[in-house]
Amino acid sequence: MLHIGIIGLGAIGQRLISQFKNHSEVEIVAVCDQLETLAKESANALGGIPFYTEPTSLIDHPLVDLVYVAIPPKYHHPIVMEVLYAKKHVLCEKPLANSLEEANEMAQTAKDVGVVHAMNFPLNYGQAAAKFAELINQQYIGKLRRIHLTMNFPEWPRTWQKNNWVGGREQGGFVLEVGVHFIQQILKLFGDIKNIRTRLELPDNPEECETGIIATAELTDGTPILIEGLSKLAGKEFIGFTAYGSEGVLSLENWGQLKGGKCSEEIKEISCENISSTNLIEELVKAVNGHEADLYTFEVGYKAQEVLEQLRKM
Ligand SMILES: NC(=O)c1ccc[n+]([C@@H]2O[C@H](COP(=O)([O-])OP(=O)(O)OC[C@H]3O[C@@H](n4cnc5c(N)ncnc54)[C@H](O)[C@@H]3O)[C@@H](O)[C@H]2O)c1
């Protein structure tokens, strides 16, 4: 049994609680949030397990084998470093940190300490993204010509993630919060990203995050990447991740919908029902038990951070 402690019980912390509860080989043994009422409520909902408001108390809990860190990005570094110094396994939310220096120290220390370190990049465990990767690897689109990421948010912060930081410039904004998932996919499927040029639309208030981005970059072979997005606009939220090739086009839309077509044909929805995908919690259990696992380590988080820092250059 893998004993989990959770720090941060907000939107994503609650989502992962449900996933941990569905897995027979893990048990949540303690929770922590700086909001005492939230910590207490969550602990009660989990059968009256211990709860804390101080991360250190949870990290030091002798039963905790793995700490899941689900607090806002600027607190990832200090808390994760404490977990690593305690030599406990760690699952950290994306983005890894709030600067490249922090991300580097976390990735280095995790490697040196030798614990399991992983990031929550859920696209890697979804059927549509798995099918997208499979079709790319099978040359469905032929030779890659262009990668295009669109992120449109009529409302930012989104209705399900209203908090006091995700609309702020210091650690929020959709480039960091949402873009990171697709940067990680580009790095995984297509390799390194170079020659990043970015233009952000920034509100006059220096506390508020970007409301737009147009950025270009290249893969190492020169294949162009276009990243663009806007918030506060009409219409519906739309996130499109598209690869254009010599023989066709493939798009992952709104996280879970796959569409594609061969050149000169209609673009159609592609079914992903029979695709087998892995599961983050199962992979964590495997890794902690010393088996090979499909995890995205702090090294992956660091590489994504490198690109994000350049995209978010003011
Ligand atoms: N992987 C994903 O798909 C995904 C989705 C949403 C959010 N996230 C990431 O998860 C993290 C949390 O996001 P969220 O939307 O749940 O935020 P949130 O603001 O809803 O929740 C964060 C919680 O952490 C608590 N907290 C903050 N600082 C703390 C501290 N020092 N000690 C203890 N508790 C503290 C807050 O009280 C709050 O309850 C962020 O890094 C975000 O980018 C990831």
Number of H helices, E strands in the chain: 10, 14
Name all domains of the chain by residue range, CATH numbers in brackets: 2-121+279-296 (3.40.50.720), 127-276 (3.30.360.10)
Tell me what pLDDT residue 89 has. Answer: 98
Q: What is the pLDDT of residues 145-176, one digit of tens each?
A: 999 999 999 999 999 999 999 999 999 999 99
Ligand 1 contacts CB of residue 56 (under 6 A): no
Residue 284: band (very low, low, confident or very high) from pLDDT cuts 50, 70, 90 = very high
Ligand 1 contacts CB of residue 33 (under 6 A): yes
Tell me what pLDDT residue 93 has. Answer: 98
Ligand 1 contacts CB of residue 8 (under 6 A): yes
Q: Which one of 71, 163, 165 would you pick to mutate in the ligand 1 pocket, going by the greatest count of ligand atoms within 8 A of its CB?
A: 71
Q: Per-residue pLDDT averaged across 25-46, rounded? A: 98
**Strand arrangement of the beta sheet that strand 26-32 belongs to:** 51-52, 26-32, 2-7, 66-69, 89-93, 117-120
Residue 37: band (very low, low, confident or very high) from pLDDT cuts 50, 70, 90 = very high
Query: Of all protein residues, whose CA lies closest to atom 25 belonging to ligand 1?
Result: 8
Q: What is the pLDDT of residues 66-104, one digit of tens each?
A: 999 999 999 999 999 999 999 999 999 999 999 999 999
Q: What is the pLDDT of residues 216-274, one digit of tens each?
A: 999 999 999 999 999 999 999 999 999 999 999 999 999 999 999 999 999 999 999 88
Query: Of all protein residues, whose CA lies closest to atom 5 belonging to ligand 1?
Result: 12
Q: What is the mean pLDDT of the chain?
A: 97
76, 96 contact by CB (below 8 A): yes
Query: Of all protein residues, whose CA lies closest to atom 15 belonging to ligand 1?
Result: 11
Tell me what pLDDT residue 314 has. Answer: 77
d(CA 76, CA 105): 12
Q: Which one of 93, 158, 300 would you pick to mutate in the ligand 1 pocket, going by the greatest count of ligand atoms within 8 A of its CB?
A: 93
Residue 32 CA, closest ligand 1 atom number: 33
Q: Per-residue pLDDT averaged across 134-139, rounded? A: 97
Ligand 1 contacts CB of residue 163 (under 6 A): yes
Residue 235 φ/ψ region, left for φ over 0, alpha for ψ in the -120 to 50 degree band, beta for the rest: left
Phi, psi of 144 (to 5 degrees): -60, 130
Residue 165 Cα to ligand 1 middle (Å): 9
Q: Per-residue pLDDT averaged across 165-192, rounded? A: 97
Ligand 1 contacts CB of residue 126 (under 6 A): no
Instruction: Please report, to the nearest 10 degrees, the dihedral formed by the alpha carbons of residues 183, 301, 270, 256 taken in order.
Output: -100
Listed in sequence order, the DSSP H helices in the chain are: 11-21, 36-45, 55-59, 76-85, 100-113, 127-137, 174, 180-190, 280-288, 298-311
Tell me what pLDDT residue 18 has. Answer: 96
Ligand 1 contacts CB of residue 12 (under 6 A): yes
